[in-house]
Structure 1
Amino acid sequence: MSLNEEVELLRKIPLFAKIEPSKLKLLAFTSERLTYQSGQRLFQQGDVGDAAYIIIDGEASVRIRTDGGEIQVAELGKGDVVGEIAILCDVPRTASVEATGKLITLRITKELFFRLISEFPQISIEIMRELAARLERTNVQLREALNR
C-alpha cells in the first residue's frame, strides 16, 4: 500500500476525517507499518501502553482474561483504532489483541498520538464519541448477561 493509499484510508476513519491531507500524510509517514500473521499478538493484557494501532487491512480479536480463561469480547476490522485507552489513561493494556488472519496496522506512538490530539481538538471529540459508544455496548452486554 502506498503512502497516498494509507492517507485515503485514514481519511475514511471518523477520528481523522477532518484533518487536512498534508497532516495525514505526515501521520502515515511517521507511523510504523506492521504486519501480523494469524495468532500473533499486537499486545497483551497488562502490558504498558506505548502506542495505538489503526487497522489498515485484516481482522483482529480483542480478548480479556477471566477466571474461566480468556474470552473474546470484540472483533476489529479495517479502519478500527485499538490501544488508545492505555495511552490516554496511562494504565496497563485492558485487553489482548490478536490477529485472526493476516493483519496490517499503523502503529502510532503515544507521543505522536498526543501531538495529534493537541493540534486537532476534533480528534479528542471523536475519541470521546468512540469510547462512549464502547461503554454503551458494554453496558448492554452486561445487562443482557445479568438477565440470563
Structure 2
Amino acid sequence: MLSDEVETLREVPIFASIEPAKLKLLAFACDRMIYRQGQDICRQGDQGDAAYVLLSGMADVIVSSSAGEVKVAAIGANAIVGEMAVLCNIPRTATVRATSRLEVLRISKDHFLALTSEFPQVATEIMRTLAARLSETTAELANARISFTTR
C-alpha cells in the first residue's frame, strides 16, 4: 500500500520533483481515507486543516451562491484539493463532494506546510497550479460577463 501511495504522489505534478525517500515519509504521515458517493471531503467555509490528494474516483468542486450550489469543476485521480485554505490560512472556498467511491490521502496542514518549506520546488508548483486555476476562473468570469451583457 505505501509503495502505491508513493507512486501516486509522484504522479501529482507538485510532488514530482521530490525524491522517493521523502515521498515515502510523506505517504507514511498521511491518512488514507475512503469516501462514498455523495459524501463531502471538505466543506466551503470550514477551516483548512488538511490538503487531499485523490487516489481514485471522482469528485465535484461546488461553490455555494445566492442561487444555490454551483458545480465549478470535476476532478479525479492525482488531483490535489484543499491546498489553498491550508497555504493561505483562510476558510475553504469550495465544497468537494465525491461523485463515486473516492480514495484520498489526507495531508495535515503541518505536514503540508513543512513540505513546502523543505522543498521550494513544491511551493513553486503549487503557485503554478493556483495561477492556472485563477487564469481559468478569470476567463470563465469574463465569458459570463460578456454573455450577461449581450442579453
Q: TM-score, normalised by structure 2?
A: 0.96
| 4+ long deviations beyond 2 Å | none
Q: Distance in 1 between matches of 2:128 and 2:72?
A: 19
In the alignment, what sits opposite 1:143? 142
| Cα distance, 1:99 vs structure 2 | 0.2
| Cα distance, 1:9 vs structure 2 | 1.1
Matched, 1:96 2:101: no
| Cα distance, 1:45 vs structure 2 | 0.5
Identity across matched positions, percent:
52
| Number of residue pairs the alignment of both structures matches | 147
1:68-125 deviation line (CA, Å, top 9, x unaligned): 1001001111000000111111111100000000000000000000110111000000
In the alignment, what sits opposite 2:104? 105
Matched, 1:81 2:89: no
1:35-66 deviation line (CA, Å, top 9, x unaligned): 00000001111001100000000111000011
| AA in 1 matched with 2:41 | L
- In structure 1, list runs of 5 or more residues that go unmatched: none
Q: Distance in 1 between matches of 2:30 and 2:125?
A: 20
Query: Matches of residues 1-148 of structure 1 in structure 2 within 5 Å?
Result: 2-148=1-147
- In structure 2, list runs of 5 or more residues that go unmatched: none
| AA in 1 matched with 2:27 | A
| Cα distance, 1:146 vs structure 2 | 0.7
Structure 1 counterpart SS, 2:121: helix
Q: TM-score, normalised by structure 1?
A: 0.98
Q: Distance in 1 between matches of 2:65 and 2:24?
A: 40
| Cα distance, 1:33 vs structure 2 | 0.4
Structure 2 counterpart SS, 1:94: coil
Q: Name the Cα RMSD after superposition.
A: 0.6
